[in-house]
Amino acid sequence: MKVLFLNGPNLNMLGRREPDIYGTTTLTGIEADVKKAAKTLKVEVDFRQSNLEGQLVDWVQQAADRFDVIVINAAAYTHTSVALRDAIAAVEVPTIEIHLSNVHAREKFRHKSLIAPVCCGQISGFGAKSYILALYASVHVKVASKTAKKP
C-alpha cells in the first residue's frame, strides 16, 4: 500500500513558524515520524512539500493509479484553492485532509475548507500527531475500500 503525503505553503517553515500554534517539530521531523510508523504498518510513504499551488495540483493528478491514498495538508490553499479541490475531485484516489491546528477554533476564514467536500475525512488539531492519525486513517480507508460490497 502506498500513501502520498502532500504539504502546502509555509509548512517548510515548521519548527520556527508560530510555534505556539504549530508546535516545534520541523516538517523533516514529522516526515521521519510518519516513515517510522509506516514501516511498522508495512505502508510505503512518499512525503512532499511545495509552496506552489500548481505543483500541488500536478502531484494530485499524478497520484492516480500510483497511490492508494493521498493525505494532504493544503495549508492556506485549503481555504482558497478551487484548482486543488477540482484536482482531488478529478482523481479517483481517496484523499484525507489534515491540519496541525484546530482550524475550526481559529479565525473565521479558516473555518471554510474548499477541499473538505471532496475528501473522505478531516483530521485537525492534533499537532504533528495529525499526520500519524492520518496514516492510520489511510490504512482504514484502504481496507474499507477493499471490503466494500460491490452492487
Give residues in contact with ligand DQA (CB under 6 A). 10, 73, 75-76, 78, 99-101, 103, 110
C-alpha–C-alpha distance, residues 59 and 40, integer Å: 26
Nearer to ligand DQA, 35 or 79 (CB): 79
Residue position matching grid coordinates 471532496:
118
Minimum gap (Å) between residue 7 Cβ and ligand DQA:
9
Minimum gap (Å) between residue 16 Cβ and ligand DQA:
14
Neighbouring residues of 35: CB distance < 8 A, sequence distance ≥ 6: 45, 47
Nearer to ligand DQA, 43 or 103 (CB): 103
Minimum gap (Å) between residue 143 Cβ and ligand DQA:
26
Nearer to ligand DQA, 39 or 111 (CB): 111
* CA dist list (Å): 136 to 10, 69, 131: 25, 11, 9
Nearer to ligand DQA, 124 or 138 (CB): 124
Neighbouring residues of 88: CB distance < 8 A, sequence distance ≥ 6: 60, 70, 72, 95, 115, 118, 119
Q: Which residues are catalytic?
A: 22, 99
Minimum gap (Å) between residue 142 Cβ and ligand DQA:
23
Cell readout for 61 is 493528478
CA gyration radius for the chain?
15
